[in-house]
Amino acid sequence: EAGVAQSPRYKIIEKRQSVAFWCNPISGHATLYWYQQILGQGPKLLIQFQNNGVVDDSQLPKDRFSAERLKGVDSTLKIQPAKLEDSAVYLCASSTMDDPRNEQFFGPGTRLTVL
């Protein structure tokens, strides 16, 4: 079974530039999550999708971050414009609604550096 795919793996941009990250979840997983993990901290949930609907985006900085999940499969997370404090690893995870443990499977992440 293929895991969660993310691209790019690394990205370096200047502040005020825009950037987009892509995630392809495990086939059949209805729930998709985007997390931000700053060095030395735990992952912080940015947004959770169930199919193509948003379940929770309470911690998403909506003035600069946006995310979509068209057709309930792939997802993109965009930052526009980026700030220095956005430097972090952006993790995508997916889970199946049938799992009582709600186990989330994480992708390899995208490491963003904002200069």
Partner 1 sequence: QKEVEQNSGPLSVPEGAIASLNCTYSDRGSQSFFWYRQYSGKSPELIMFIYSNGDKEDGRFTAQLNKASQYVSLLIRDSQPSDSATYLCAVLPDMRFGAGTRLTVKP
Which 8-state DSSP code applies to residue 2? -
Contacts with 53 (C-beta within 8 Å, 6 or more apart), sequence order: none
Indicate whether 68 belongs to the interface with partner 1 (CB under 8 A): no
Binding residue for partner 1, selected from 24, 75, 94, 104, defined by CB under 8 A: 104
Binding residue for partner 1, selected from 26, 45, 64, 74, defined by CB under 8 A: 45
List residues bridging with 93 in a β-sheet.
Answer: 33, 106
Indicate whether 48 belongs to the interface with partner 1 (CB under 8 A): yes
Indicate whether 85 belongs to the interface with partner 1 (CB under 8 A): no
Cα 23 to Cα 5: distance, rounded to the nearest angstrom: 6
Contact 55, 32 (CB under 8 A): no
Indicate whether 24 belongs to the interface with partner 1 (CB under 8 A): no
* Cis peptide, bond prior to residue 81, ω within 30 of zero: yes
> Which is closer to partner 1, CB of 51 or CB of 80?
51
Q: Residue numbers of the site for partner 1 (CB under 8 A)?
A: 33, 40-45, 48, 56, 58, 91, 101-104, 106-109
